[in-house]
Structure 1
């Protein structure tokens, strides 16, 4: 056996230090902001994404839940500027930036069946190909879109028909097509950032809002409204994106780590959401027994279904041939993923 000399130990120490230095040089800290709390759907997705990236690379992900870096508009600006490497945001907020993304707010386009939705988001050509270029034009690399659950209306007065929304100031995201949807439904749409919604309902500045069931419980919106109504008109969609300059500058290996992490987190969040709406609705009923929960019959929701045609026409008017092509492709994708 060769004797280890003082010189040998010195050489080994130098080599070890160089290896550590090279590793550190390639290990980066990436920042990722989203619109919800760590315990909500986007937060659960983000944590799984972080876990996968860190398990398969030397990089670290820092997570920034809602409110830590501002409102939705703020984190999008930071992502486009490269301050953030990743951002998770609903097309409800990116609709003004990418008009075609408003297609997710055409009423009754998306089914309520969660398994159909899971197949659709995973296999859709519109989502996985067509939207890529639209997001890239805004400096964003679209990684994944995924569902967060059927949208429910929460109001101060019961809703059984469109007439019940007459003169109701209904909070909507700052999304032009969502404004048109609630106009068509008979309400007075009132765009507000999320941070103002609880107080707005509490002080009667607004009298209604919409969100997935889990969000109604986690944000305690049920405390300041009295009725939950399921009209079947939409399913909440969200998307994780990367700053495109950042993403394009990565090695193929790192890009694959990110794509794989996004895919694993997608499967994780789809499984996580099974039964979630029912569980959270039960918690709402326990916390506020007097809360009424109504699922509209086909006859009761007919006025909302009729209004959908008007909203779809508005979408095409807003987005032209590009929007029309996206809409037609989505309809084809939905048909192809139905069972």
Structure 2
């Protein structure tokens, strides 16, 4: 892990050296190469989104987009630091990691706040005032231009044994992203939350240091987590969300034409991915079941979900404690936006 970080730092340093001669004004001219990093593997949802973004940019301009996947430049924290430093131009990252920078982004980890229905989620991200009006200002405070947020699928827990109640979680070390509110969620669920970077998860499950983790199904399939954590539990507590951001100095230095190009490419990729994600979980679950006869699938009944749902208010209270009046206002708008979607 340390070697990987050193290598990533070396690559990033080479980028930085190459950027010294490039002013923000030069970055807005034709024929530039833009650097875009995300936190997933080839063919995963963020990679599909990135490919569509690049496709639009390179079809409608002379710019080129260089894509870096998970591990190319280090872990999630590394690519965020490189984006804030201007080494990378674009970064696609989950609020699970940006929550350390932007505490309000942890709102996505309040359990049972977001629906698991794909179409409702897509409509929410398209129309939400909280997403499209309030969040950009929060990201701007960290030198980031928020271009879009989108869902990647229902969160599913994997564990060493099937789980149907908070009592079943007792004594289990469940890996979480390094996110304080997600930690609070699994503590409320009865587990022992264990924040770890992604690179340590498979080994932790394999050696029983961890007894479980959560991710959308496509990532469980892509990362072969079902091999070492074969019991899949659909708790219905939320969807995985991610965000595309640009370094704000870079974005502000673009011409008006190139800024619109970036926005149009983002909308093009968003439209594609929101058609791509619905149904993906079912397809990936089928692949998992075809690959292993050790996998079990547990879908909680409404009564069983209610036992977990009853514990959500303490996580919500912790969110407000962490974020104050601003977080409370954001949560109120979130709920109003979700109510409007559900009524439709």
Q: TM-score, normalised by structure 2?
A: 0.91
- Verify the 8 A CA contact 2:153 2:278 in the aligned structure 1: no
Q: Which residue number in structure 1 is paired with residue 134 of structure 2?
A: 130
Alignment partners' CA distance in 1, 2:279 and 2:106:
27
Unaligned 5+ runs, structure 2:
1-25
- Verify the 8 A CA contact 2:93 2:242 in the aligned structure 1: yes
Give the secondary-structure state (helix, strand or coil) at the position aligned to 1:88.
strand
Cα root mean square deviation, aligned: 1.1
- Verify the 8 A CA contact 2:119 2:278 in the aligned structure 1: no
Q: Does 1:199 align with 2:209?
A: no
Q: Does 1:220 align with 2:224?
A: yes
Q: Does 1:169 align with 2:177?
A: no
Alignment partners' CA distance in 2, 1:283 and 1:201:
21
Divergent runs of 4+, >3 A: none
Q: TM-score, normalised by structure 1?
A: 0.92
Alignment partners' CA distance in 2, 1:208 and 1:289:
19
Structure with the greater alpha carbon radius of gyration: 1
Q: Does 1:150 align with 2:136?
A: no
Q: Does 1:99 align with 2:106?
A: no
Q: Which residue number in structure 2 is paired with residue 75 of structure 1?
A: 79
Equivalent of 2:272, from 256, 268, 282? 268
Q: Does 1:237 align with 2:241?
A: yes
Alignment partners' CA distance in 1, 2:39 and 2:230:
25
How does 1:106-125 map onto structure 2 within 5 Å?
106-125=110-129
Shift in Å, 1:109: 0.5
Q: Does 1:30 align with 2:10?
A: no
Unaligned 5+ runs, structure 1:
1-21
Q: Which residue number in structure 1 is paired with residue 4 of structure 2?
A: none
Q: Which residue number in structure 2 is paired with residue 8 of structure 1?
A: none
Alignment partners' CA distance in 2, 1:123 and 1:62:
30
Shift in Å, 1:290: 2.4
Equivalent of 1:211, from 215, 218, 222? 215
Q: Which residue number in structure 2 is paired with residue 289 of structure 1?
A: 293
Q: Does 1:39 align with 2:43?
A: yes
Q: Which residue number in structure 1 is paired with residue 192 of structure 2?
A: 188
Q: Which residue number in structure 2 is paired with residue 10 of structure 1?
A: none
The number of residues matched between the two structures is: 317
Shift in Å, 1:337: 2.0
Alignment partners' CA distance in 1, 2:187 and 2:105:
19
Shift in Å, 1:25: 5.8
